Structure 1
Amino acid sequence: MFKRRLFDAAMTAAGMPDLRFASSGGDGPSGGRRPGADGARSRLSLRLDPDVDAAGKARKALARLEHKLERGVLQDMHLLVTELVTNSVRHADAAAHEPVSVEVSVSGDHVFVAVEDGGSGFKPKPRSARSPRDSGWGLHLVERLSSRWGVSSNGHTRVWLELARGGRAEPA
């Protein structure tokens, strides 16, 4: 129910970010995985201002991939992109003018998502029983819903994940 309301809210969010959308047969971020049955991959690239509207704009832009994804995968992607963009806006120690970038690539067997900001990085830590109830869920959800994920820092912070298509994969 919560995911459905989150999805509905995303579809009514105002404004569109700087957006590029492409469908091609080129190599995707996962390097060598098989593309969709038609040989095409769909890609979405966003650059968002790091403000309170960023997560809503990202969700609205994700609607362009709706026809390519199964309902459960689409809902998981919406939730995880929302969490990661929100984390970028709230926690990146970057200057306010540095954008948050979102990259999505859809292929036949998975969806690759990466969110990058100007922050200097962090070490992921597991959620504990002492964690506040109203925060700290973003990476916990990423770990639970994605088949693979990671964090890299090289002047910027990049959190990436893969969602298995055709049903949720057990985390590695």
Structure 2
Amino acid sequence: MGPLEPDPTEIIVGLICFFLIFGILGRIILPRLEQTLARREDAIEGGAERARAAMAEAEDTYTAYRQELAAAQHEAARIRQAAAEEGAALITAAREQGQREREELVAAAHAQIAVDQALAAITLRENVGGLATDLAGRIIGEPLDAFAAQRGSVERFFADR
């Protein structure tokens, strides 16, 4: 028996082993391999599908966020404008109130000055008249109080002025 004439037992045992291994591969290992490949393909395709869905949802969320942000910025600008207008109105009102108070203080001060001038004039007339008669009495050597009171010379002097 040589290489060109094989032993039939070896051929039969080889064929049985070949078909047995082919059967095991065909019936057990290849279906499991196909299932594993199908699951991987599903995971890959499903992952890509889920990624696209997540991307679309993220885009929608981002668009909604941008719209809310624009609305919030618009509202903030409106609030700032209203606060600026209210501040300007408060400043104007405070300025007007300050003007009124200043005018009242100035008027009160002018009235007080007029009263003080009148009191000073009255006090001056009394004191000047008394001092003038005392001085004249010292110069003459006689008291002139009675003379000044009778004649009203001090009042006539101030009346002429």
Flag the structure with more relative contact order, 1 or 2, with Cα contacts below 8 A and sequence separation at least 6: 1
Q: Same fold (TM over 0.5)?
A: no
Which one has a bigger Cα radius of gyration?
2
User: What TM-score comes out, normalization by structure 2 length?
Assistant: 0.15
